[in-house]
A and B are shown apart, each in its own frame.
Chain A
Amino acid sequence: MAVYTARRLVLLILSLFVASLVIFAAIEVIPGDPASFMLGINARPDTVAALRAEMGLDQPLVARYAAWMGGMLTGDFGLSYTYRTPVVDMVVGRMWVSIPLATYALALSTLIAFPVGIIAAARRGGWADKSIMGATQLGIAIPNFWFAVIMVHIFAIKYGWFRAGGFPGWDEPLQALRALTLPAIVLALPQAAILARIMRSGLIDTLEADFMRTARAKGRTARGALWHHALRNAMIPVLTILGLQFSFLLAGAIIIEEVFFLPGLGRLIFQAISQRDLIVVESVVMLLVFAVIMLTFLVDLAYAWVDPRLRRRNV
């Protein structure tokens, strides 16, 4: 396991390096010079040149990449082109919305999907399975932003149980949770439906495997065999999806953040792109990518822990 972890760690660092190159290159090819964008169309060329020098845009590519990476590693993400405030402060503020929202939604999704998926697999073919599968079909089919609009109309505007939008900050934790509840539910339901289906189909495949018959022959009850043998083996696809879902929830909540006017990371990127605030785009995308690569790394370790066969090089 130690060798496996060490190899993964080297790959983790390599992946992060390649990702940073890709992001840097992508930002480079975006048309539009930030300096002339900031100063407007009537700016004199020498003013633009002076600002370009101040922003370091006149440096060669390698030097700019090195400066950017060096800054990222030491926690100095530079100044926002648009607001002239440290990017770090903007990002940290947004993280306090995005991370709790993603965690909240993932927790809701897992809490719903696990029992539902297990019940459906254990009672496959029965009415419980059929109604669960019907419900998950609907859960997957409903676009979450449309669902969000409808939920806001019913639970925020009509009944006033939740906030229709905005975020009051964590000074009032209960109000903050109340603001995040509707977005979290909207984000969690389709994810829960997908997770429950993967859980069910993974479990059913495992339940039909020979070792399950062996377990039953050894005298395990159907329930015992499911809990002790099937569940562990069915976890591989489930872990893949769980890892995917967190990263989706972290950065993919842009649209839900738009619907609920939540000041999260997704909206920050969206605004920064439209304002040509490329340093913010660069840093936030890199941070999100860092988070996702870390998550994938952890999922891979979890694989090896769940399925010892994967630790060996040649199975």
Chain B
Amino acid sequence: MRLAPLLIGLCLVGLFTALALISLVWTPYDVQILEISNKMKPPGGANWLGTDHFGRDILSMIMVGGQVSIAVAVVAVGMGMGLGVPLGLAAAARRGGLMDELIMRGNDLVFAFPALLIAILITAIFGPSAINAIIAIGIFNIPVFARMSRGAALELWTRDFILAARVAGKGPVRISAEHILPNIANLLIVQGTIQFSLAILAEAALSYVGLGAQPPTPSWGRMLADSQTLASLAPHLVLAPGLSIVAMVLGLNMLGDALRDALDPRLNRAAK
């Protein structure tokens, strides 16, 4: 198997995760202190990535912003996968039955509320915050995983090896756990990485419109929003947070793909 994507992915994700973790205890500059006399410095010199229109250090802001993005994405996708996959498998095991209908109609209902709309409604009701962003993104992840795993599981339930397992006397729960789940794992990893990157993007989008983490906590999305009118004056203000998001999401996706290659037994057999 090819090592390059795995290593690049690991490096990118590791870099931003490490930066976010380091920022818990140390940042090059304090992101809460405004120093207007030092505003909009280009990259280089004392501030490696320059400073923004308030004179805050961009690198420090990127580091702290990473904390929010990663935390929101981890919790939201964990919530979606943890609730969605069992629901999808249960629906497939009882396909055509009442439980299937209830689960899938419940899914449709959540699906029917577009993610951003949920977020806006939730923040309208409870006020904007990172926690509400997690809930909004997480809720929308549940039906994604439920649908995906049900769809894939339905196809597997028609296969002969499942019939063999049923003949052997295994019940639907054991079949789902021992035969269906391992067979849809690669699909879940591909979908999981997409959802993880989408969660990072969604968090950025929410904070871009002011519904994510609130000031003075820096976030990648709001850094973009604050700087977009300054794009022609100071391109680095737009590029730094944007490229951070791109690099983080790209790294996650490469990691996911590499894991897919490593975990898919059929691909391994082909390689031998």
Segment of A65-73, A109-117, A175-183, A248-256 in the binding face: A248-256
Chain B residues within an 8 Å CB radius of A11 = 101, 105
Q: Which chain B residues lie closer than 8 Å to A205 at the CB level?
A: 187
Q: Does B79 contact A (CB under 8 A)?
A: no
Would B224 and A149 count as touching, CB distance under 8 A?
Answer: yes
| A266 neighbours in B (Cβ, 8 Å) | 116
Q: Is the interface of A mostly helix, strand, loop or mixed?
A: helix
Measured CB to CB, the nearest residue on chain B to A309 is B158
Pairwise interchain contact B246-A254, C-beta atoms closer than 8 A: no
Q: Measured between C-beta atoms, what is the minimum distance from A140 to chain B in Å?
A: 6
Per-residue interface assignment for chain A, residues 149 to 181, with 1 indicating a CB less than 8 Å from any chain B CB and 0 otherwise: 110010001000000000000000000000000
Interface string of B63-89 (1 = CB under 8 A from A): 000000000000000000000000000
Do A141 and B246 have beta carbons less than 8 Å apart?
Answer: yes
Say yes or no: A145 contacts B224, CB within 8 Å.
yes
Cross-chain contact A14 with B105 (CB below 8 angstroms): yes
Alpha-carbon distance A312/B96, docked complex (angstroms): 8
| Smallest Cβ-Cβ distance to B12: which chain A residue | A141
Which of chain B's residues have a CB closer than 8 A to the CB of A281? 121
Contact among A236, A273, A315 with B124 in the assembled complex (CB-CB below 8 Å): A273
Task: Tell me which of B112, B194, B221, B241 contacts A140 (CB under 8 A).
Answer: B194
Q: State the CA gap A142–B249 with chains docked (Å).
A: 8
Q: Are A237 and B105 in touch, CB under 8 angstroms?
A: no
| Contact residues in A for B232 (Cβ distance below 8 Å) | 153, 157
CB of A227 closer than 8 Å to a CB of B: no
- B181 contacts the other chain (CB 8 A): no
Residue pair B201, A143 in contact (C-beta under 8 Å): yes
| Stretch in B17-25, B28-36, B129-137, B149-157 with 4+ CB within 8 Å of A | B149-157
A15 touches B108 (CB 8 A): yes
Asked whether A255 lies within 8 Å of B112 as measured between CB atoms, the reply is no
From B113, B144, B194, B224, residue with most partner A Cβ within 10 Å: B113
A30 interface hit (Cβ, 8 Å): yes
User: Would you call B205 an interface residue if the criterion is a C-beta within 8 Å of the partner chain's C-beta atoms?
Assistant: yes
Q: Which of A52-60, A86-94, A212-220, A285-293 contacts B (4 or more CB under 8 A)?
A: A285-293
Given A138-B250, A240-B151, also A143-B204 (CB < 8 A)? yes
Contact of A194 with B194 in the complex, beta carbons under 8 Å: yes
- Give the docked Cα–Cα distance between A91 and B7 (Å): 50
Asked if B147 lies at the interface with its beta carbon under 8 angstroms from chain A, I say yes
Q: Which of A133, A138, A143, A258 contacts B209 (CB 8 A)?
A: A258
Contact B253 A293 (CB under 8 A): no
Inter-subunit contact B120/A270 (CB<8 Å): yes
* A315 engages B266 (CB within 8 Å): no
Give the chain B neighbours of A313 by CB distance below 8 A.
96
CB distance from B243 to the nearest CB of A (A): 9
Q: Is B3 an interface residue (CB 8 A)?
A: no
Chain B residue, CB-CB nearest to A253: B116
- B112 near A292: Cβ-Cβ < 8 Å: yes
Contact pattern, A 232-254, Cβ under 8 Å of B = 1, otherwise 0: 00001100100010011011101
Cβ–Cβ contact A252 & B114, under 8 A: yes
The CA-CA distance from A236 to B201 in the complex, in Å, is: 26
CA distance A240 to B187 in the complex (A): 14
B236-272 Cβ-contact flags toward A at 8 Å (1 or 0): 0010011001110110011001000000001000000
Within 8 A of A (CB), among B181-225: 187, 190, 194, 197, 201, 204-205, 208-209, 221, 224
Among B148, B224, B247, B254, point to the contact of A240 (Cβ < 8 A).
Answer: B148
B228 within 8 A of partner (CB): yes
Residues of A within 8 A of B (CB): 11, 14-15, 18-19, 22, 26, 29-31, 133, 137-138, 140-143, 145-146, 149-150, 153, 157, 194, 197, 201, 205, 208, 236-237, 240, 244, 247-248, 250-252, 254-255, 258, 266, 269-270, 273, 281, 285, 288-289, 292-293, 296, 309-310, 312-315
Q: 14 more A-B contacts (CB under 8 A) besides A30-B125, A293-B112?
A: A19-B109, A29-B125, A141-B245, A143-B201, A143-B224, A145-B205, A153-B232, A194-B194, A251-B116, A252-B114, A266-B116, A273-B124, A285-B121, A315-B154
Please name 29 pairs of A and B residues whose Cβ atoms are closer than 8 Å in the assembled complex, sorted by A: A11-B105, A15-B108, A18-B105, A31-B125, A137-B254, A141-B197, A141-B247, A143-B208, A143-B246, A146-B238, A149-B231, A157-B232, A194-B194, A197-B190, A208-B266, A236-B155, A237-B151, A247-B111, A247-B112, A251-B114, A258-B209, A269-B117, A273-B121, A288-B114, A292-B113, A292-B114, A314-B95, A315-B154, A315-B158
7 residue pairs, one from A and one from B, having the closest CB atoms: A251-B114, A141-B249, A313-B96, A141-B250, A146-B242, A292-B112, A289-B112
